Structure 1
Amino acid sequence: MVQNKWYIHPVIAVAVLINVFVMGLAIAWSGDQAALWRLLVEDGIVEWMQFLCFAVTSGLLAFAAVEHWQRGRRVDLVLLALAGLAGIVALAALEEISWFQRILNIATPEYFAHNNRQGETNLHNLAIGEKGSIHKTILLKIIAIVGLTHNIVLPLLARKRPAIRDFVEKFGLYLPPLSASVIYIVLVAISHLVIDHPRKGELGEMFGAVHYLATVFAAYFLGIGYGKRPVFETPADARRAGTLFAMLLVFLLMTAWLLSAGAGAGSYLQVHPDGGKG
């Protein structure tokens, strides 16, 4: 197992820096509504970064599942967890960009036009009640509870009781480094307290997407804070893969920025001056 501390390992350190950088952009642009909309609007920088991170995370989990199967050739809790998480994260990625609806310029089916808060083809914005949606009424609460438990409560308990970490890993899961998790949670809190914007919640979602992309790779592929066999078992392979992956994280942010310019952030604002609230 790789013994690197997270704060000197390029994968998690770069992920933290990317989240801090985007938080800094949001604060710097808070006085310029046009720039802030560009950051947070549908098909904007933050949303594209979410999609890219979810897509890569899903691929990593699927790869880890295949690797686990090849090593043991048996169906167990670890295999089911990795495969299940890969599917859930892939669904989140597709939901984030409304199943490529805007990119492919596909008309919204009648059902979603009448029942979706944004008039798009996705499930998480389906209406609940007069003003609510599945995302705001249900999913955000679940995400908050699971996020705090996984990132703060369990890692804290595992420091005094290592058996808790072993129990979590028995089910194919992992616990992220506590220090990195604290930074993630603090950034989410700052984004809600400091940024005055109807879509400021997108920042917290992006912070989570980047955080989990990095910690999933660090745990399952490099063995950082993870007791089971990682994909890259030798220190040399882990070092090379980690460095390349840190470079990929920076490339994803640059790609999200380019996609926001070329795939519709500006044109979307022309059609939806409110930026697509919801």
Structure 2
Amino acid sequence: MANQKSLLHPVIATGIVINIFVLLLAVAYRGDTAGLWRLLIEDGIVEWMQFLCFTVLSILLGFAFFERLKRADRGALELLALGGLSLLCALAALEEISWFQRVLNVQSSEYFLQNNRQGETNIHNLAVGSGSLHKNVLLKLIAIAGLTHNLILPLVARFKPGVRSWVEKLGLYLPPLSASVIYLVLVALSHALIDHPRKGELGEMFGAVHYLATVFAAYFAGVQYTRPTLFENPADIRRLSKLFASWMVFLLFVAWLLSAGAGAGAPPAV
């Protein structure tokens, strides 16, 4: 049976607190140009947090894939969804830091220098029309998928429980509506309160943290998830949830350290 106490679950609550903290930090830095750049610049705190969240997400989904693979009731679509999403999150993590290009100080090839909007070795900033693949295509797809998954389907599932069952048979899950609403409100607030050319990075980080929390909560802890969880003992699930919540806070600390090590801080030269 699904656990309904979504906002009280330590992992979901921790994800919400982390996102609120980063938004408040951005608001506090509005009068500090260097501080806001340190938060949002390439190799800044927000970008490294996205990389870490996507990396852990890839590991969680890969773990879920191999655990489901062992079960007799596994379905082909379920395995395809979990395996595909694990690879997609790994790709997103590597794209976020341009495949370690800046970390390793590797120069872009001639192709990327000519066709990438930022001269980086990645796919999402390739030129498409007057903008980039990320801005002109991917952001629109992410917005449609995000609203459908976080708002439309959970609302429909409240009146038609069969929708949740159908989604879960596909190997997916529906986030708790309360957590999704908070996530979407924080994204809207980041656009309304922050005046910065890279303010969109905040919404992307909020999404990465939100999905890290809700993926764990669904597959591992059974929060508003009707299928059997990957761990069965309730006491073990509670202990693991508290440990994972602590790990999420540690990820933010690591992102801060990585941004300092990468030298993020000063705004780009005009």
Q: 1:192–1:200: 8 Å Cα contact kept in structure 2?
A: yes
Letter in 1 for 2:84: G
Could you list the per-position Cα deviations for residues 108-150 of structure 1 after superposition, in whole angstroms to 9, with x for gaps in the alignment? 0110011101100000000112x31000000000010100010
Secondary structure of the corresponding residue to residue 71 of structure 1: coil
- 1:195-274 to structure 2, matched below 5 A, reads 195-266=194-265, 269=266, 272-273=268-269
1:64–1:257 CA distance, 2 compared to 1 (3 A): same
How far apart are the structure 1 equivalents of 2:249 and 2:191?
A: 25
CA displacement at 1:73 relative to structure 2:
8.3
Q: Name the residue aligned to 1:100.
A: 100
Relative to 1, partners in 2 of residues 1:136 and 1:150: Cα closer, same or farther, differing over 3 Å? same
Q: 5 Å matches for 1:45-194?
A: 45-72=45-72, 76-129=76-129, 131-194=130-193
The answer (yes or no) to whether the contact 2:153–2:163 under 8 Å persists in 1 is yes
1:143–1:55 CA distance, 2 compared to 1 (3 A): same
Q: What is the TM-score normalised by the length of structure 2?
A: 0.97
Q: 1:70: Cα distance to partner?
A: 1.3
CA contact (8 A) 1:192 1:201 kept: yes
Runs of 4 or more above 2 Å deviation: 1-4, 72-75
Sequence identity, in percent? Answer: 67
**Equivalent pair of 1:2/1:238 in contact (CA under 8 Å):** no
Q: Could you tell me how far apart the structure 2 residues matched to 1:100 and 1:120 are?
A: 10
Asked if the contact 1:2/1:222 (under 8 Å) is kept, the reply is: no
2:3 and 2:225 in contact (8 A); partners too? no
Q: Distance in 1 between matches of 2:184 and 2:141?
A: 15
Q: SS of the residue aligned with 2:117?
A: coil
Alpha-carbon RMSD across the aligned residues, in angstroms, is: 1.3
Is there any run of 5+ residues in structure 1 with no aligned partner, and where?
none
Residue type of the alignment partner of 2:163? I
> What displacement does 1:33 show?
0.7
Q: Distance in 2 between matches of 1:19 and 1:6?
A: 16
Q: TM-score, length-normalised on structure 1?
A: 0.94
Q: Is the 8 A contact 2:95 2:123 kept in 1?
A: yes
Segments of 5+ residues of structure 2 without an aligned counterpart are: none
Q: Distance in 1 between matches of 2:264 and 2:37?
A: 9
Matched with 1:23 is: 23
How many equivalent pairs are there?
A: 270
Letter in 2 for 1:251: F
The answer to whether the 8 A contact 1:2-1:235 is kept is: no
Match of 2:8 in 1: 8
Mapped to 2, the partners of 1:236 and 1:213 lie a distance apart of: 21
